[in-house]
Amino acid sequence: MPEILVVDDEPGIRELMREILEEEGYDVRMAENGARARSALEAKIPDLVLLDIWMPDVDGVTLLKEWKSQGRLTLPVVMMSGHGTVHTAVEATRLGAFDYLEKPIAYKQLLETVKKALEARPSRPTTSGDLSALGEGEPIRRLTQRLALASAAGLPVLLVGEPGSGEEAAARFLTPPEGGFVRLTDVVQLGERPGDILAQARGGLVFVPHLSGLNTMQQRGLALLIARRAEFSVRVVAAAHEAPSLLLSEGLLSQELHDHFAHGVVELPALRTRRDDIPALAAHMLEDACVRLLVTPRHFGADVLAVLSAHEWPGNLAELEALCGRLALAEGEPLVGMEEVEAIIGHAPVQETGIDLMLHLPLKDARDAFEKAYLEALLEQCGWSMSRAAERAGLDRTNMYRKVKQLGIEREG
């Protein structure tokens, strides 16, 4: 059912309206002043706000102006007052209020206005494009629905999944249709100048690709960025390989950030859990790689696609894309041979091979692939002693541990 936020400083009026609206089947939240109204809207966007004009801390018209300047009037707001004037009603309507009700409000008038306001809600899109680049099977359809719900709720979103599961594609999907996308690669800026990031991303989205890799100062900067996001109409999306509760228990996430992200977790499905998507994805990625690298088109036969569908893909979509890039540049017939594929996926995982493969990856994926291969080899040489490996790598032990968790490195056996 639609959710209505009732903002009024008089307890009796709040309770009466709650009883009336809940009796009609609506979900109701209440706020007793302007500060609480701000917090309520920050926590979750309702379907309708019934907003009192005269309150002790801040008046309703000021709140309406504030929400309009922040680009948050994407929902209907009905103003209420027992001391209203024609001028006040006109001003509220000019600022974007759906309607104006004078107290005492008649039972029938309240319900009719609520019904009309809810019917007038804008139905414009809140996300960009689709997720067809990740696949078109049932898991991706469910993912699309979950992301759309997270977008509508207005919460910070944490994408949780294995490396290469399509984190950036999902974040771009959450970007407002007319907003910009800021991928946060300079985490130093996050710790020192979070306000600059908000100004750069105004009306768009900030994506933090490695949440668990942030140090204490950077996490504080991110928490400040999240707290101020409404001022700049910015969405915040982060990615991690583990749930926030686990990151918290491992000392990789502050309690404040845990609380921000706990209700906005969206899990990304691993490629091996949706094998029906693999043939179409592989064919499309190979075609794209040939066009991008300006080479003769190549394609897969049914036998090779069957082998690809059965592979475990520990590197997920990033691994499949890297494989297609390598095959596009290989000297061979237009039809990719079975032996070519088996020579690659039958040995080390694609994302752990040499620089020749990394050249076909985007820079961010190539950097992760190199760091993972380097640290795995270093840890193996050091007998998986974190202290010795950190010393050899020129890192302190805390940063070494963060890197290992961030890249999903685990000791076998």
Tens of pLDDT, residues 366-407: 677 778 878 888 888 877 888 888 888 878 778 788 788 777
- 171 domain residue, yes or no: yes
**Token digits of residue 318:** 């990033």
Q: Would you say 226 and 202 are in contact if contact means Cβ atoms under 8 Å apart? A: no
Domain for residue 127, yes or no? no
Task: Count Cβ atoms below 10 Å from residue 52 Cβ, excluding itself.
Answer: 25
Indicate whether 352 and 387 sit together in one domain: no
Domain boundary among 57, 89, 119: 119
If pLDDT is split at 50, 70 and 90, which confidence band does 126 have? Answer: low
What values do phi and psi take at 370, rounded to 5? -65, -45
In a domain, 66, yes or no: yes
279/240 same-domain check: no
Name the pLDDT band for 350 (thresholds 50, 70, 90). Answer: very low
Residues 177 and 222 in one domain: yes
316 contacts 277 by C-beta, under 8 angstroms: no
Domain CATH number, residue 377: 1.10.10.60
Structural domain contains residue 142: yes
What are the strands of the beta sheet with 205-208, ordered from one edge?
181-183, 205-208, 235-240, 157-160, 265-267
- Say if CB 67 and CB 42 are below 8 A apart: no
Q: Which CATH number is 10's domain given? A: 3.40.50.2300
- Does the pLDDT of residue 353 top 50, yes or no? no
Domain that holds residue 183: 132-269
The answer to whether residues 160 and 87 belong to one domain is no
pLDDT above 60 (res 54): yes
The whole-number pLDDT of residue 212 equals 87
The reported pLDDT for the residue numbered 360 is: 53
Alpha helix (H) residue ranges in 293-385: 302-310, 316-329, 338-345, 355-358, 363-381
Same-domain status, 263 and 136 = yes
pLDDT the model gives residue 365? 65
Please identify which residue in the block is written with the tokens 């600022």: 95
Q: What is the pLDDT of residues 73-98, one digit of tens each?
A: 778 999 998 776 667 777 787 788 88
CATH number at residue 137: 3.40.50.300
Confidence band, pLDDT 50/70/90 cuts, at residue 362? low
Secondary structure percentages of the chain, helix, strand, coil, to 5 = 55, 10, 35
Examine the domain organization and report whether 63 and 114 are in the same domain. Answer: yes
In a domain, 412, yes or no: no
Tokens describing residue 5: 């936020």
Last residue of a domain, one of 320, 335, 358: 358
51 pLDDT above the threshold of 90: yes
**Which tens digit of pLDDT belongs to each residue from 170-215?**
999 999 877 889 998 777 888 888 889 999 888 899 999 989 889 9
The pLDDT value recorded for residue 152 is 74
In-domain check, residue 399: yes
Task: With beta carbons less than 8 A apart as the criterion, state whether 5 and 48 touch.
Answer: yes
Same domain, 263 and 145: yes
Do 249 and 146 share a domain, yes or no?
yes
Highest mean pLDDT among 51-55, 110-114, 408-412: 110-114
Residue in this structure with the two tokens 């302007």, named with its chain if needed: 34
Q: Is 147 helix (H, G, I), strand (E, B) or coil?
A: helix
| 284 and 264 housed in the same domain | no
Higher pLDDT, 265 or 127: 265
Looking at the structure of the chain, the number of domains it has is: 4
Query: What CATH number did the domain enclosing 297 receive?
Result: 1.10.8.60
Res 383: pLDDT: 78
Residue 348 has a pLDDT of 39
Mean pLDDT of all residues in the chain?
85
Average pLDDT over residues 242-265: 91
Flag whether 124 is in a domain: no
Which pLDDT value is given to residue 132?
Answer: 85
Answer yes or no: do 304 and 324 share one domain. yes
Q: 9 and 106: one domain?
A: yes
CA distance 88 to 142: 46
Domain final residue, candidates 248, 269, 290? 269
pLDDT confidence tier of residue 240, bands split at 50, 70 and 90: very high
| Residue 71: pLDDT over 70 | no
Indicate whether 91 and 216 sit together in one domain: no
* Residue that wins the pLDDT comparison between 184 and 120: 184
